[in-house]
A and B are shown apart, each in its own frame.
Chain A
Amino acid sequence: MTDSIQTSDVPVPGQDSVPGDLMSKFDGLIAERQALLDSGVRDPFAIVMDEVKSPTEAVIKGKDTILLGTYNYMGMTFDPDVIQAGKDALDQFGSGTNGSRMLNGTFRDHMEVEEALREFYGTTGAIVFSTGYMANLGMISTLAGKGDYIILDADSHASIYDGCKQGYAEIVRFRHNSVEDLDKRLGRLPPEAGKLVVLEGVYSMLGDIAPLDQMVAVAKKHGAMVLSDEAHSMGFFGPNGRGVYEAQGVEGDVDFIVGTFSKSVGTVGGFCVSNHPKFEAIRLACRPYIFTASLPPSVVATAATSIRKLMHAHNKRAHLWENARQLHGGLKAMGFKLGTENPDSAIIAVILDDQEQAVMMWQGLLEAGLYVNMARPPATPAGTFLLRCSLCAEHTTEQMIRVTEMFRAVGKAVGVIA
């Protein structure tokens, strides 16, 4: 979460803090982490992949491990065409651009990847940023200026909150996924003020999806523009894989789509696409676009190739959804408490009672040869501790069976399920 009425869960200095030491504010965090490590568990936030064998397998501390906690939804990272495009770009354009997109940092493949995005999304405009985080930071802080309002979901990603903080607009938040709460808050704002409603297709902690069709209709009723972050849906929601907004049929009413190359595309970078006739002006005004180096040529070349392949990845898409249904159904049948009633997305969150249970479960799975994400407050909603599984189109049915059995064995050992 972020700035609000002053709360008690901000970092506090410890007893032995030295006056004037700015690092003292982290004493509480340091102590909490030490207490966790002293309990004998491995540090969940210090995992090193020594070897990566495929989109779904790595070696961690000498052990072959199935990866079920990456955002490699479409398994594009080892695609031979994608890798070749990157190698060719390295050979032809070198290792980096040494400059901003605005000055010397726009090469052939930056233009090529923006063209690929326009084709993928069917839009007239596409702007590439150096990360997905910076795409949200840049778009939100640049679109909404002084006197404008940003209306955001309470469970929004940190990059959305930070985009709000970076700018000068008034910030209003509504209860997660509540159409009624959004409607009420929009209704209380000055009718003439500029308004940007920021939504996400898939919320990444619990894997739940937004009722975008209803929310976008409410936003339009109040004269607001809409930005939807489709980071966790690209490639496998909607007829063309554009995202939840496409799947729910509101393509015509979403003004800006933000996305990332670090998930389904399989590299790093962020972007925004739009049909707004003045969209290109963002390049002239957006600080996170201007004041940073552009992506290396090999990265944009791999992204362009991957995006074009994702347009036709119908079999992968179908297999990803099969995997989601298989894992969700298996875990639910065993008695695990899950973040969503149905397999709504490629993220399946297992909700646990507390930090200790979450860490025990996480470590047990890792020792058995399975990596999942552990997530804790403040990243999670409502103070929950959870293990987040994200599926890949390259997970085999056999791997999914092994994953399910590991959850059964460890869940029983830790006492999460009977």
Chain B
Amino acid sequence: MELNTLWFWIIAVMFIGYFVLDGFDFGVGMSLPFLGKDDTDRRVLINTIGPVWDLNETWVIVAGASLFAAFPEWYATMFSGFYLALLLILLALIARGVSFEYRHQRPELKWKKSFDTMIVVGSAVPALLWGVAFGNVVRGVPLDADFNYIGSFFDLLNPYALLAGLTTLLLFFTHGVIFVSAKTEGEIRVRARALAIKSGLVTIVVAASFLVWTTLAYGTFASGILAAVAAVALIAAYLMNLAGRERTAFGLMAVTIGFAVLTLFASLFPDVMPASNNVANSLTIENASSTPYTLQVMSWTALIAAPVILGYQGWTYWVFRKRIGRTHIEAAAH
């Protein structure tokens, strides 16, 4: 396999890592108004992701930097082209991140509530807009001969991309709610499971429509198979949650998100940013990539670092594997 092909799939894996991990953080954040009846509940919810949200978010930094290094043209075209959408994502991520750290710094309920609002909005906006962004990448956008995006912000809000955004929003929401049911104990666990049963149905309908649309309009035989795996995993996750097997359901949601991202990347390949106006202006793994030398250096780094990173991140999840509930919050001196 050529190195630029390898890096195309490594970038895919990094975005899978980001969407699977920060995806449930977004879901937990969005679930605050649905599952958090009082401040203690909301603290239980936030503490389910407390030790890990930062490392989960770091996946997008690593994915972005790797995109820059491996496919500079793709990075430059996508980030300048989606300027306002990425601005909204950045503002949302800032608001969400500081809120986790700041909301517990003062006891007043009004203080906490304003940061809760920032967490909800700061989780929902990226959950929606990452889908919109990737939907547009797959669909193709107008590019000039220098690969610069020549459409407007509103061109990005087309039906296919909006459906992609709605799909990620719902997938992350259900993923997060199932994570809550797998990570908490007591009443909140029961409520989370019940909510995931409801939201799961809507998610299945929306995600299935999106996967069908992707396969028919932009897909290949291979991407169709990947889409089918994603759909089956989503339905299986739903059934497992229905059966009360929350951790299995959570694992299957991760599989769903992983295969959904693979579907998008397989539909793209070997393009990375197809031009909708003129095929000659499309960015591909050939004309967008770095030199073989740079990719080789990066490959060695990734090869050596990957087992270490996966090792200590996995260990972290194992350290914080216990369920938490209201008693933990009430017992902790503040």
Q: Are chains A and B native binding partners rather than an unrelated pairing?
A: no
B contact residues vs A (CB 8 Å cutoff):
none
